[in-house]
Structure 1
């Protein structure tokens, strides 16, 4: 009987470990860039509403071919304007960065997670409750953003490809002929 109990306990432990791995895989976002894949570990425990919205948009293919419309050397690369930033369907260079998605804006989910190199945060207007689909990836630490913007994740591989994203030449980091997110998927490849 004890051997059976041990075997049953071992089976349950292996099954639990397997489902935990599958669950964490659901919180991985893979962004294909021209130079290679970037894997972001999303943080639903930190920003559950924002992470859910990003995953929904990615699952529907909304982020595919969306421009990195604002990229500032030593600061961050911003993307995610699914309304005006889709470079294959309705790209509008003059409006890229002003749109969102058909989903509602989200209330802020500020946290104590610091804005460091590789952290992914939600872009918004002056209204803290205006984040929708746009997000940015930090090139460097930037403490003034701490507690002011919602953190949704962190790059766990491929930061070297983020570093190759074309920088903006405009006054606010606007990019002429920008790089894009080729394809965005939920789950690590």
Structure 2
């Protein structure tokens, strides 16, 4: 029995060590990965075209146009989320592209989830998005999930808080990973 328990402990230890390494080595598709550079470091975002193909296409198009470079985080609520994507910095602006119809899913708004901001009309998302600091299950099924932070959440946590923040932090650069020269 002692030998059996020893084997079970060894197996459990192996799984505990091996499984996170496997997840860490998961290969990201460069065409569906965004690099979001902030003042403190790079945030890597896995896009979710399986959940929101129209939103992902619009985010990638705007990113490739350089739309997000230099845009401020205009609404940053501690324990909730950081919102950006408005070229006016007021929370009322967007891009010149058409609004996107809602692509609500059963995906959970967990810490590190990226969702699309919108007005009261569910089909009014355009360019503004937010990154969750904490669990936000109350948003599930009401906003479109289009991505998730896979590394660099510690840099998101350092974004200056406020509505709006005084001297707000900005997106230094946002790029689709496939477009980055190696």
TM-score, length of structure 1 as denominator length: 0.79
* Mapped partners of 1:49, 1:142: distance in 2: 23
Q: Where does structure 2 lack aligned partners over 5 or more consecutive residues?
A: 1-26
Residue in structure 2 matched with residue 187 of structure 1 by the alignment: 177
* Mapped partners of 1:181, 1:174: distance in 2: 15
SS class of match (1:64): coil
1:1-189 alignment runs, 5 A limit: 24-82=29-87, 84-85=88-89, 96-168=90-162, 173-187=163-177
Aligned length: 153
Deviation at 1:174, TM superposition (A): 1.8
Q: Where does structure 1 lack aligned partners over 5 or more consecutive residues?
A: 1-20, 86-95
Structure 1 runs (4+) deviating above 4 angstroms are none
Per-residue deviation, residues 4-28 of structure 1 (Å, max 9, x unmatched): xxxxxxxxxxxxxxxxx68x11100
Per-residue deviation, residues 30-69 of structure 1 (Å, max 9, x unmatched): 1110000001000011000000000000001000000000
* Mapped partners of 2:100, 2:135: distance in 1: 25
